[in-house]
Amino acid sequence: MLKQTEGSRAVAEAVALCRPEVICAYPISPQTHIVEGLGERVKSGALAPCEFINVESEFAAMSVAIGASAAGARTYTATASQGLLFMTEAVYNASGLGLPIVMTVANRAIGAPINIWNDHSDSMSQRDCGWIQLFAESNQEALDLHIQAFKLAEELSMPVMVCMDGFILTHAYERVDIPEQAEVDAFLPPYEPRQVLDPADPVSIGAMVGPEAFTEVRYLAHAKQLSALEVIPRIANEFAERFGRRSGGLLRGYRTDDAETIVVALGSVIGTLQDTADEMRAEGIKIGVLGIQSFRPFPLAAVRAALENAQRVVVLEKSFCVGLGGVVSTDVRLALSGLQLHGYTVVAGLGGRAITKASLHRTLRAAIADTLEPLTFMDLDWRIVNRQLEREAQLRRSGPIAENLLRDVGAIAIKVV
């Protein structure tokens, strides 16, 4: 059914349609509306049988999710930012144990400095945690990816993170098509666990493993993620056949076929990039956009195939690795090993800084002219950066950086948007 609703509410409806049996979560912006929506459904009885467990922290949320999933329940949680960091130890345990938990990450920056706005630092910090990571481009895709995520997680017995941009998607009202319960039931069979804590057939889960088999357990986790490279597109195809729209998959190209320049990105910025690419195409510039939906597993071969005929690749990412550069870029570069392409990393949208078409035009044109720095921080305010550097050169006690920069920027209210 077509509906105009908030991204968080749409995801809550999608998760409810998947009939989770245990939901445990601790509220944190910008994830809150999702779990509120689910909490209301459990309380009203609309989502039953399901237990909504209020926990005292994100660490407890993931710990309860592990217990519930091990006991054979379809389990869901959601978090963001510092919350994801706080549960990290349990996040690794969930994947190490092979438990098919589904978690939404409403992407938000990590402090310090404390910042509630969107970027991809939180889920990128869990890049190596062994969960599958899917990124949504729109609220429709966020909704659809959750339905696919439960099927994927349970088929592989592996947890799945669905990443959606905080505020930009979670708090945006837009048109979504919400499927019927019967359609979702036909797509997603009841959960049949590979391992379960059952008093009638007792097992233990979570053995200590020494050098004799640790590498093998880890290798099997890797092999399973690689098998997801086949399962993810298959599930996306089945979804498209049943629901009549394409969502998910490994990656999606937009006007890439004859493109000389391809911009690679994840998440909600893809739409703005597509609009920008259309405007540049109208001027005769051969540019396309490659959206990566599956960041883990990373589709090395598919990325290579999509990019190998271009002359220039610009990775635009909302995350970066201090002391190195791009996070996504590193993986894209691995996919392009041996190919002589011009490669650029553009770090944009950190801590909620708006990514505008005007800035994209400027940056991408510089890339096409090959005048762009290999690592560029889009719209960086050099004025306040240089002022701070000068302060540090002149004064030993130059003071806290964040406070200094805010003072230099002046009253935030001066800027309209």
Partner 1 sequence: MLQIRFHGRGGQGVVTAAELLSLAAFEQGRFAQAFPSFGSERTGAPVVAFCRIDDREIRLREPILAPDVLIVQDPTLLHQIDLFQGLDSAGYVLINSKRSFSELGLDTIEQRFRRERLRTLPATEIALKHLGRPLPNAVLLGGFAALSGLITLAAVAHAIGIKFQGKVAEANVAAATEAFAYIQREREESVGA
Among 53, 85, 116, 300, binds partner 1 (CB under 8 A): 116
* Subset of residues 137 to 156 that bind partner 1, contact rule: CB under 8 A: 138
* 168 touching partner 1, by CB under 8 A: yes
Choose, by CB under 8 A, the member of 46, 89, 113, 175 that binds partner 1: 175
- Interface with partner 1, residue 114, by CB under 8 A: no
CB of 186 to partner 1, least distance (A): 27
Question: Is residue 44 near partner 1 by the rule CB under 8 A?
Answer: no
To which residue do tokens 């050099």 refer? 382
Tokens matching residue 256: 């890439």
Residue 244 Cα distances to 19, 135, 368, angstroms: 22, 20, 37
| End-to-end C-alpha distance for the chain, whole angstroms | 34
111 binds partner 1 (CB under 8 A): no
Distance of CA 207 to the CA centre of its chain: 31
The residue range among 126-134, 177-185, 229-237, 269-277 that interacts with partner 1, by the rule CB under 8 A, is 269-277
The one among 67, 96, 351, 352 contacting partner 1 by CB under 8 A: 352
The size of the interface with partner 1 (CB under 8 A), counted in residues, is 30
Contact call for residue 72 and partner 1 (CB under 8 A):
no
Selected range binding partner 1 among 65-73, 171-179, 244-252, 361-369, rule: CB under 8 A? 171-179
164 binds partner 1, rule: CB under 8 A: no
- Alpha carbon separation from 24 to 15, 58, 109, 410 (Å, rounded): 13, 9, 23, 41
Sole window of 235-243, 351-359, 380-388, 391-399 interacting with partner 1 (rule: CB under 8 A): 351-359
**One residue of 59, 131, 167, 320 binding partner 1 per CB under 8 A:** 167
Task: Tell me which stretch binds partner 1 (CB under 8 A): 15-23, 196-204, 263-271, 299-307.
Answer: 263-271
How far, CA to CA in Å, does 101 sit from each of 205, 206, 240, 290, 399? 16, 16, 23, 28, 44
- Minimum CB separation from partner 1 for residue 7, in Å? 9
Cβ closer to partner 1: 93 or 274? 274
Q: Is 405 in the site for partner 1 (CB under 8 A)?
A: no
**Choice between 107 and 274, CB closer to partner 1:** 274
Q: Is 381 in the site for partner 1 (CB under 8 A)?
A: no
- Angle at which helices 357-368 and 269-282 pack, to 10 degrees? 60
135 binds partner 1 (CB under 8 A): no
Give me the least distance between CB of 118 and partner 1, in Å please: 10
The reply on whether position 174 binds partner 1 by CB under 8 A is yes
Residue 124 beta carbon to partner 1: minimum distance, rounded to whole angstroms: 20
CB of 403 to partner 1, least distance (A): 18
Distance in Å, CB of 279 to partner 1, minimum: 11
Residues of this chain that bind partner 1 (CB under 8 A) = 4, 6, 116-117, 138, 167-168, 171-175, 268-272, 274-275, 352, 354-358, 412-414, 416-417
